[in-house]
Amino acid sequence: MGKVTRLTHEGHTYAVSVDIQDGQVTLKVDKDGVSLPPTDARVQTLDPWLLIQLDGRSYRCLAARDKEGVWVSVEGRSSYLKFKSAAGREDHAPVTSATDVRAPMTGTVIKIVVEPGAVVAKGNLVAAMEAMKMEYRLEAQMEGKVARVLCKPGDMVDVGALLVELAPLSSA
Amino acid sequence: MLVANRGEIAVRIMRTLRALHLTSVAVYSDADVAAPHVLAADRALRIGPAPARESYLKIDAVLAAARESGAEAVHPGYGFLAENPAFAQACEDAGLVFLGPTARAMSALGDKARARSQASALGVPTIPGHDAGTDPADVARAARSLQLPLLLKAAAGGGGKGMRKIDQWSDLEEAIEAAQRESLSAFGDARLVVESCLHPVRHVEVQVLGDGKGLAVALGERECSLQRRHQKIIEETPSVAVSPALREAMCDAACRAAASVDYRGLGTVEFLVDTEGHFYFLELNARLQVEHPVTEWVTGLDLVALQIAVGEGQPIPAEARDVVMRGASIEARLYAENPLAGFLPTSGRALEVIWPHHPGVRIDSGIARGQDVGVYYDPLLAKIIAWGDTREMARTRLVSALRDTAVVGLTTNQAFLIDLLESEIFKSGQTFTHTVDEWVGPWKAQRPPLYEDPAFLIAAVLSGTATGESRNAQSAVSPDGTGDPYNPWRRQDAWRV
């Protein structure tokens, strides 16, 4: 087995190795620790594509790496796979908890409708954001009490930024 | 000519300017210093910082750029200042030819509220509803006089901005507030219109061209029913739902509406069409529409060139007066957005951008490799538009073009477009304005898991190796092992295609 690349995607971990010899490749995958049957394929380049031939069909693929992972496009479908770091530190898989109200995209906070201490029901409007001139409602994912408000109207925030933190009512 | 816009539409307008041997001037914000529209122009002038309100929406800054560049005409594209009568007036006052309707026609028809009453007066059917003004209490009262569900719309503009659907009365106040804020931000005007929500309906629009002297011609229809967040994603012409008789009636109504205000230039008269073939006037969009290329494919006309000709005071040319439609055309809009997460806009850097070069396929793109897609502007990246003798041929060409397109480095709606075009719903033409909302849930659930696609993992792993560095990979050893010494992909020098 060749060098193993560890990737994560939609909550699954893939340990992938590709043995390549004269354009003939064998793919071995461990998905979440379970070995899948190996796959044989043929690989060629047809600039700008990487052509991967599987079961008599040819797939046009393109991949580009950044620091944290690799974007792959196969026949018009693209997705991002994150490298799982060697130190065992998990990738930035969203440890989303229902107590968190996070920014769903990079944009500007336009309003916060709750204050610390306020009680919200599941589905209540908590804040609103704007990106690319469209407005988005951010709702509470659970019933609870507002523990902290970490932004104010006008703030530019990154995707995933924690905007408002809720606490379960029982602990309040 | 100065193009007061950015992105794909600015690039597309400049293509026509180049073909007509006219000098093009781009304007740009700090976020667009090396954007494709800047590179497509003969000259480019900075007009301000990244936020649109301080640059592309700033009339003074755009006019100053026009003066400095010596431009004689201004093309506003769509969005931004395209339907702002104050901008059209300011251009006219500055002695610039504004490539759009006159400020007067725009005020009369670009405004949803006034357009409603104008259309009724002409005997064109309109949707039950009210012009509700700016006071939130008045808007709420007007809304409560109608049946649910209903729609709130920005009186001042289109494009789905400021539009809110109300399904339950408890959402009303919050929705009015949000619609007004969005409308104020996009158009600088908080007036709202409330209308009943017809269901099920198709969105069908008619392309018109007016000479400014009372003559208007229709250039066929476009069906744009497939929408999410009230914004179109797939458009086509002709519409499967429009019979020759209905086409004639709609084109006639559209021409009457445009001629009644001495409409000059390109306009689009939008209608809703119900399942019984009744049509209702929605609005007149006083601009070049995003989806104009499908009309260009079937008519063979260059709509931007027609806009320029009419703007110069020329009569409507014969080929536009006696237009012959041929075949069918479908457009897909590639957006930086995530269909798995409510179609929220995404941002990122385009690490690779590959377009297909297929027969019958046109690409109108505003994105290039290495460009950052930010949060300041519309998330439209490009339009892929296919033509065929038949609708089915246009459809299969479009799907194949999308499969041979790669924009990697950010999440887009590309796979969603492919699957929607391949769905039975689309193949059979059962397209309504609610179709996408209903279809997206099952689509999410049916996506195959990643490990079933070995190509995905092979490409991911090989991307770190010489074999996988496919782009600019001419120097890589050909993995096919055939050793063809004449294979141009294997040359080691700077030879380029």
> Does A10 touch chain B if contact means CB atoms closer than 8 Å?
yes
The per-residue pLDDT for B132 is 86
The pTM assigned to this predicted structure is 0.83
The reply to whether residue B454 touches residue A16, judged by beta carbons under 8 angstroms, is: no
Write down the pLDDT at residue B158.
Answer: 61
If you average pLDDT over every residue of chain B, what do you get?
90
Residue B3 neighbours by CB under 8 Å, 6+ apart: B10, B13, B14, B17, B24, B25, B26, B27, B37, B41, B74, B75, B77
Please report residues of A whose CB lies closer than 8 A to that of B409: 64, 66, 71
Contact A106 B467 (CB under 8 A): no
Distance CA B425, CA A163 (A): 40
Q: What is the DSSP string of B365-404?
A: E---TTPEE-SSS--EEEEEEEEESSHHHHHHHHHHHHHT
Q: What value does the CA radius of gyration of chain A take, rounded to a whole number of Å? A: 22
The alpha carbon of residue B47 and the mean position of all alpha carbons in its chain are separated, in whole angstroms, by 24
pLDDT at B496 over 60: no
Residue A83 contacts B where some CB pair is shorter than 8 Å: no
CA separation, residue B44 to residues B10, B54, B55, B69 (Å): 12, 17, 14, 9
Write down the pLDDT at residue B497: 43
| For residues B208-218, average pLDDT | 94
Residue B487 has pLDDT above 60, yes or no: no
Give me the residue from B351, B375, B489 closest to A71, CB to CB: B351
pLDDT tens per residue, chain A (172 residues)? Answer: 568 999 998 888 999 999 999 889 999 999 999 999 999 999 999 988 999 999 999 999 999 999 899 999 999 999 999 998 744 444 444 445 778 888 877 788 988 989 999 999 888 889 988 876 677 888 888 889 999 999 999 888 877 788 999 988 874 3
Give A136 to chain B, closest Cα distance, Å. Answer: 8
CA B360 to chain CA mean position, Å: 20
Contact at CB, B462 and A131, closer than 8 angstroms: no
Residue B484 above 60 pLDDT?
no
**C-alpha to C-alpha distance for A40 and A18, rounded to whole angstroms:** 10
**Shortest Cα–Cα distance, A74 to chain B (Å):** 6
pLDDT score recorded for residue B385: 98
Q: What is the pLDDT of residues A100-111, one digit of tens each?
A: 888 877 788 988
Please return the burial class of B250, using the count of CB atoms within 10 Å of its CB with bins 0-12, 13-18 and 19+: buried
Quick one: tokens of B366? Answer: 């505003």
- Shortest distance, CA A153 to any CA of chain B (angstroms): 14
B434-480 pLDDT, tens digit each: 999 999 999 999 887 777 789 999 999 998 776 665 444 333 333 33
Q: How far apart are CA B108 and CA B114, in angstroms?
A: 6
- Mean pLDDT of the B263-279 span: 94
Q: Provide the edge-to-edge strand list for the sheet that holds B150-154.
A: B129-133, B192-196, B150-154, B164-166
Chain B touched by A63 (CB under 8 Å): yes
Q: For residues B135 and B158, which has the higher predicted lDDT (pLDDT)? A: B135
Query: Mind telling me how many Å the CA of B255 is from chain A's nearest CA?
Result: 32
Give the residue ranges of DSSP H helices in chain A.
Answer: none
Q: Which of B76-90, B433-447, B482-496 has the lowest mean pLDDT?
A: B482-496
CB–CB of A25 and B458 under 8 A? yes
Q: Determine the average pLDDT of the residues in B61-70.
A: 97
ipTM field:
0.81
Contact A54 B342 (CB under 8 A): no
> Which residues in chain B touch residue A129, judged by CB atoms under 8 angstroms apart?
none
What are the chain A neighbours of B408 within 8 Å (beta carbons)? 62-64, 71-73, 78
Give the pLDDT confidence of B86-139 residue by residue, as tens digits: 999 999 999 999 998 888 877 776 677 778 888 889 999 999 898 888 999 999
Q: Does A35 contact B at CB distance below 8 Å?
A: no
The tokens describing B425, both together, are 């719903």
Rounded to an integer, what distance in angstroms lies between the CA atom of residue B332 and that of residue B381? 11
Per the omega criterion (within 30 degrees of 0), is the bond before B200 cis? yes
Is B186 in Cβ contact with A107 (below 8 Å)? no
Give which of B367, B456, B465, B472 to mutate to test A binding, by max A Cβ within 10 Å.
B456
The answer to whether residue B323 scores a pLDDT higher than 60 is yes
Quickly count: other Cβ atoms within 10 Å of residue B444's Cβ.
Answer: 12
Instruction: Flag whether pLDDT at B355 surpasses 90.
Output: yes
Q: Which residue of A has its CA nearest to B474?
A: A47
- Give the residue-averaged pLDDT of B13-34: 97
Residue carrying the six token digits 């590639």: B334
Report the Cα B368 to chain-centroid distance in Å. Answer: 19
Inform me whether the pLDDT recorded for B310 exceeds 90. yes
B261's tokens: 């205000």
Mention every residue, 6+ apart, whose C-beta is less than 8 A from residue A54. Answer: A39, A41, B454, B455
**CA distance, residue A165 to nearest chain B CA (Å):** 21
HSE value, Cβ hemisphere, 13 Å, CA-based, for B90: 18
